[in-house]
A and B are shown apart, each in its own frame.
Chain A
Amino acid sequence: MPLTRRSFLAGTSAVAAGVAMGPWVLRSHAQAGPIKIGVVLPYSGVYAVLGESITQAMELVFARENWTVAGRKIEMIKEDDQMTPKTGIEKTEKLIESDKVDILTGPVHSGILLGMRDKVHNTRTILIVSNAGADDVSRGKCSKWIFRASFSNWQPNQPMGGWVARNVAKDVFLVAPNYAAGKDMMTAFKETFLPAGGKVVAEDYPKLGETDYAPYLTKIRNSGAKGVYCFFSGTDAVNFVKQFDEFGLKQSVRLTGAGFLVEPDVLPAQGKAALGIISGHFYTPLLENPTNQKFVKEFRAKFNNKMPDGFACQGHDTAETIVRALKAVNGNTQDKARLVEVIEKTEFDSPRGRFRFDPKTHNVIQPYIYVREVRDVHGGLNNVVIDKIADVRDPGTGCTLPA
């Protein structure tokens, strides 16, 4: 039989596939080995800073335990999801099927969370969400196997509506990027804003990644609004806040928003333009409870004087939940149903306040949504707490925690 291209290709690709796949095929999985914690987060690209904050806080918590719980080593297997659902889903598959992780954590991107949801649910893998806020995961797409230690998009926004109406202005202009999270957050804000007598003067949705907000700022100026409530994060937050100030709107219009607007990842770039902005969030490093003071001190000592942010708090609570649950089951990760029961009851003092899950949705009940104002204190720009709203739990509409 002559060697032809086709048969040659067939042969070589089979050999190549065999070589590439070999290590997995042969891998065996010992039961008494380390407890494997899978982490799906962005480690490359612009969102790498979020992944890094979450990871650092998790490592801090595990290091406190000497990376050992109930006599078993803790092993973190980190995978870069590159902020794309295709990759995130594939990495989820790897962690579940190939690494056989005991507990999965992540992601940052809501799309990845929704994309991995069915896989996680169907394989009965315990997932502790350490950032992604898609409301749906606490609502129609909730799962017995999924817990969320971060927030639902609804949570930081809904309480702010009433607060802004009572304390800032009744005539408010709403702005957010034109995508799912942006619209969800504005809807949540209106839930309490309208009943408190607030009036939405207008709302506008610039595209995500907009660099020139002048047309929107002109509209805000001409609308006669006394306040603006917005959601922006990352570079959008920097651009919007700076241009809002350059436009001279700060003197006449009060800028408020969801906490991501002025988190420590963007504050330095915004500089003085951020002064006076009021935002709602579940965390600020200035909280005076002892757990937080210890956390901030250790975090700064360990990571080159870096200030922990909300993302770090999420990472802390994700890891703390894992450590406490594993201790409660004495390191036995085989009985997943039991582990779920234990996680459901896990309660502890977090840097953000008393941490617990809502048994109805498996989403965290925010001990407080802190109303914060950006001020120049403690030698830099900081989010100072000026008010707080207690026990903010997602309504969980349509969630029945199917088995």
Chain B
Amino acid sequence: MRLARPGGFVALLALLAVFPLFAGNYPVKLLHEILIWGVFAMSLDLLMGYTGLVSFGHSAFFGLGGYVAALALLRWPGATAALLLPAVAAALAALVIGFFSIRVSGVYFIMLTLAFSQMFYAVAFQAEWLGSNDGISGVPRPVVVGLSLAAPRVFHLFLVGFFGLAGLALWRVVRSPFGHVLRGIAENEGRMAAVGYPVARYKLLAFVIAGTVAGLAGSLFTQLNGYVSPDAFFWTTSGEALLMVILGGTGTLGGAFLGAAAFTLLQSLVSSYTERWMLILGLTFVLFVLFAPGGIVGVLRGRIGLRA
């Protein structure tokens, strides 16, 4: 994939940055969810789309980032608690989970990652020091470089900046020689190994990078709501991210973001009108998988003649 024009990306960020000037608080809140889930979905796409590792346990890192941020922010509401600690915790967890999981592939990889994330869920659901199923509420937003993120405008710009940096970083990763090796692994792991690449190490590194970014997304989600609950760890969180990636177009970072946007808007808007919103979401998904396996990005490419 060729993401040629940084100019377009900057224009998108600028649009996102000024969005609150034209919209009410609720659309802005939805945009915040889209940005955070967009980053989460992009991190999953690094595994799914680029490395060929379909993880069903990505919620482990999202939840871990969220919980570490909640616990840390309640004590020290600064940048360390908001960004550094969640990222480090998620990276370490990804290192351990990845170490075991990448040894297997296919269905076994899915099952193993799912099992790990559900273990986190079970602990969070029952542990009283983590608030049990009620979760942790009243989490304050941090003060970062002298700016209080409690101010809505500051938090908005912080989120847009986070989205921009995370998107840029992931883009750099997939465009780098390292990223090309990952794509090689996705296409033919045996050949990459035969050529001499230490395939397991590459996969592990991709897993850790994806986990770290997911952890950061989880941390921001906690800051957005001032609240985190065991649902963040639940397999449905992984499942939603998976749907976003497939809906948007697997193997394209922009697609993961568009998928997150489409999923969030569909879920929020349709469910206000009908209790059967899941039916509509499900049908949309089925139609996409059947008729547009390339996702939203695939449709755009085909219709407009955009070339990869």
Which residues of A line the B interface, CB within 8 A? 3-14, 16-17, 20-21, 24-25, 27, 43-44, 48, 79-80, 82, 84-87, 89-91, 93-94, 97-98, 110-111, 114-115, 117-119, 134, 136, 141, 178-181, 183, 207-208
Contact = CB atoms under 8 A, between A and B. Distances in A.
Nearest to A118: B226
Contacts of B138: 117-118, 141
A8 B275 contact: no
B229 interface: yes
Contacts of B1: 5
A207 B254 CA distance: 41
Contacts of A85: 135, 225, 227, 229, 231
A97 B277 contact: no
A178 B230 CA distance: 14
Contact of A9 (B22, B26, B122, B300): B300
B8 A97 contact: no
Nearest to B6: A6
Interface of B: 1-9, 11-12, 15, 19, 22-27, 29-31, 33, 122, 125-126, 128, 131-135, 137-138, 225-227, 229, 231, 236, 254, 257-258, 261, 265, 267-269, 271-272, 275-278, 297, 300-301, 304, 306-308
A209 B24 CA distance: 40
A178 B126 contact: yes
Contact of A179 (B24, B132, B137): B132
B26 A93 contact: yes
Given A86-B225, A87-B267, A181-B134, 9 more contacts: A3-B306, A4-B306, A10-B9, A17-B31, A25-B23, A44-B276, A93-B29, A111-B229, A114-B135
A90 B3 CA distance: 33
A169 B163 CA distance: 61
A74 B132 CA distance: 38
B137 A118 contact: yes
Nearest to B10: A10
A213 to B, nearest CB: 18
B8 A10 contact: yes
Contact of A7 (B7, B27, B307): B7
B254 A25 contact: no
B137 A6 contact: no
Contact of B261 (A11, A16, A91): A16
Contacts of A9: 8, 12, 254, 258, 297, 300
B26 A94 contact: yes
Contacts of B132: 179-180, 183
Given A4-B4, A5-B3, A21 B300 contact: no
B3 to A, nearest CB: 5
B265 A20 contact: yes
A347 B133 CA distance: 34
A183 B128 CA distance: 9
Contacts of B24: 24-25, 27, 97-98
Contacts of B265: 20
A346 to B, nearest CB: 27
A165 B148 CA distance: 54
B8 A4 contact: yes
Contact of A111 (B8, B134, B236): B134
Given A14-B12, A25-B24, A180-B133, A8 B125 contact: no
Contacts of A111: 133-135, 229, 231
Contact of B25 (A11, A12, A17, A93): A93
A115 B306 contact: no
A89 B134 contact: no
A97 B300 CA distance: 33
Contacts of B229: 85, 111, 115
24 contacts: A3-B306, A4-B8, A6-B4, A7-B11, A8-B306, A9-B12, A9-B258, A10-B8, A10-B9, A14-B12, A27-B24, A79-B272, A80-B275, A82-B271, A85-B135, A86-B231, A91-B272, A93-B29, A97-B25, A111-B231, A115-B135, A115-B225, A180-B134, A183-B128
Contacts of B231: 84-86, 111
Contacts of A21: 23, 27, 30
A304 to B, nearest CB: 18
